[in-house]
Amino acid sequence: MNAPRGALIALSSVLVSTAALDAQQAPVPDSVIEAMWVEGTEGSRAEELAQVLLDSLGPRLTGSPASDRASEWVVRTYRSWSIDARRERYGTWHGWRRGTTHVDLIQPRVRSLEATMLAWSPGTSGPVEGPAVIFPGVSGEDGLATFLGTVAGKMVLLSAPEPTCRPDDNWEEYATPASFEHMKESRAAARNAWTERIRATGLTSRELARKLEDAGAAAILTSRWSRGWGVQKIFSSWTLKVPTLDLSCEDYGLVFRLARHRQGPVVRVDAQAEDLGEVPVFNTIAEMRGTELPDEYVVLSAHFDSWDGGSGATDNGTGTITMMEAMRILHATYPRPRRTILVGHWNGEEQGLNGSRAFAHDHPEVVEGLQALFNQDNGTGRVTRISMQGLTEVAPHFADWFARIPTELTQRIRLDIPGRPGGGGSDYASFICAGAPAFSLSSLSWDYGPYTWHTNRDTFDKIVPGDLRNNAILTAMLAYLASEDSTRLPRDRRVLPDNPRTGKQMVWPTCRDGARRSR
């Protein structure tokens, strides 16, 4: 997922949601719904599938062999369930294979450091060691040039250190109010000073890193703390020739303090990586063809790619498994759908929704014939909110569907009516931009933002099996009910309000093609 997002709730949501919940007190009997409940609870494969995907296959960085391996497993799994599946190429991307990474402090004392090489980073040719130095404040081009003349063979520290690696809620619980405020003020001042230090060069941090590697730096050391215990944001490399490495909050602070106090820190790096050039990239598609309205589509949607600092569990392995398990339930209980049911496991979401945007661009017939799309991409928790995405006449359909779904699945879900169209937070945005009915199944946080979103701790143990199982059942039921609905979901759009920041009226998002190449 690109970023956790909030939502604006219209007053009318209370009225329609209440009506839907009232109807749920006596759910309409439906033998398919009943069979789905049994299949999804007693025969669930969700946790088993998640263990294979997250532990054995692992993270799915766009352009990596691991991503291809996992995609091929998904296709094989669908076919083993007698569901048609394929890999659909949409372009190419920077291919890269991660190897092992070892980073050690060897002077003035020995300590193995917690570090992750950033995605698409160059590796080293065997172990490399050198003194760690802080990027100083420099004055003008001459000052920068002078510093660049000193960095050959050195490990350059290029992030501001954190004054504390305790989360704010820990400070708030135990510190005095005055102490807590002093820490926050000191931290803000230090961050602002570091930002000004970089800005004074006239370069971004990425541009500066490339100047440093061109000057002979051995590695760039960074740290992007996620403001929770032991969590780091892991994104892409700044460099093309030498490694960019993220150190844990604690270890980066250690090395930074040693350098600042001139205590001679020396760091050894042994980082293995293989640049594979531009390689083909694919979406993974599975399909159950409709028997009555095959040119109308219900789409199950989740991005398949992930960052690779962890295992890509809650972003978005859980969404992937939700859709796989929903398709398994659908095939077992509703094998002859009225409309075509298609699942898209999109690649390249983390680089800008590239896979889903490319699919929407290449398949206008799906966008035109879309009955409903259900996307899941913000963590492992149970679904708690569904926005109508600015479509003014779709809420009655949800009210009718909810009247048929067991209250165990729907009683905590809030409908935002009419809501606003998402502009790019996840793959539903690739379809709602055209006014097609595409909805995000937003889930309970479980501290997703600080602890698992794009972090080194996004691993199998963070999933909540019961919520994952229930989300798959809910998705299967929504797909079935949308497929059987007697009418198409209307595409009437609301008039969007003014942007409170600019005072100008918001506009409906514009569709665009996904990037087809990384370079």
Same domain as 460, residue 396: yes
**Residue 189 maps to a domain:** yes
Same domain as 173, residue 31: no
**Residue 308 maps to a domain:** yes
**Residue 145 maps to a domain:** yes
Largest CA distance in the chain: 78
Write the DSSP assignment of 21-58 as a string of letters.
HHHTTSPPP-HHHHHHHHHHHHS--HHHHHHIIIIII-
Peptide bond into 471 cis (omega under 30): no
**Residue 269 maps to a domain:** no
Same domain as 164, residue 90: no
Same domain as 293, residue 251: no
CATH number for 143: 3.50.30
Rounded Cα distance between 432 and 372, Å, is 10
Rounded Cα distance between 139 and 84, Å, is 62
Q: Please state the length of the chain.
A: 519
> What burial letters (b/e) apply to 479-510, b meaning 16+ CB within 10 Å?
bbbbbbbeeebeeebbeeeeeeeeeeebebbe
**Residue 271 maps to a domain:** no
Same domain as 316, residue 238: no
Rounded Cα distance between 354 and 387, Å, is 23
Same domain as 321, residue 196: no
Q: Render each residue's pLDDT in the chain as its tens digit; 519 residues.
A: 875 433 333 334 444 443 444 444 567 789 999 999 999 999 999 999 999 999 999 999 999 999 999 999 999 999 999 999 999 999 999 999 999 999 999 999 999 999 999 999 999 999 999 999 999 989 888 999 999 999 999 999 999 999 999 999 999 999 999 999 999 999 999 999 999 999 999 999 999 999 999 999 999 999 999 999 999 999 999 999 999 999 999 999 999 999 999 999 999 999 999 999 999 999 999 999 999 999 999 999 999 999 999 999 999 999 999 999 999 999 999 999 999 999 999 999 999 999 999 999 999 999 999 999 999 999 999 999 999 999 999 999 999 999 999 999 999 999 999 999 999 999 999 999 999 999 999 999 999 999 999 999 999 999 999 999 999 999 999 999 999 999 999 999 999 999 988 999 999 999 999 999 997
Could you say which of 214, 236, 264 is where a domain stops? 264
Residue 262: partners with Cβ closer than 8 Å, 6 or more residues away? none
Could you say which of 264, 296, 329 is where a domain stops? 264
Same domain as 129, residue 86: no
What is the residue range of 201's domain?
Answer: 109-264
Same domain as 315, residue 232: no
**Residue 498 maps to a domain:** no
**Residue 407 maps to a domain:** yes
CATH number for 58: 3.40.630.10
Same domain as 429, residue 305: yes
Q: Cβ–Cβ contacts within 10 Å for residue 405, how many?
A: 25
Same domain as 81, residue 144: no
Q: What's the structural domain count of the chain?
A: 2
Tokens representing residue 19 in the block? 């009506």
Same domain as 88, residue 127: no
Same domain as 171, residue 132: yes
**Residue 6 maps to a domain:** no
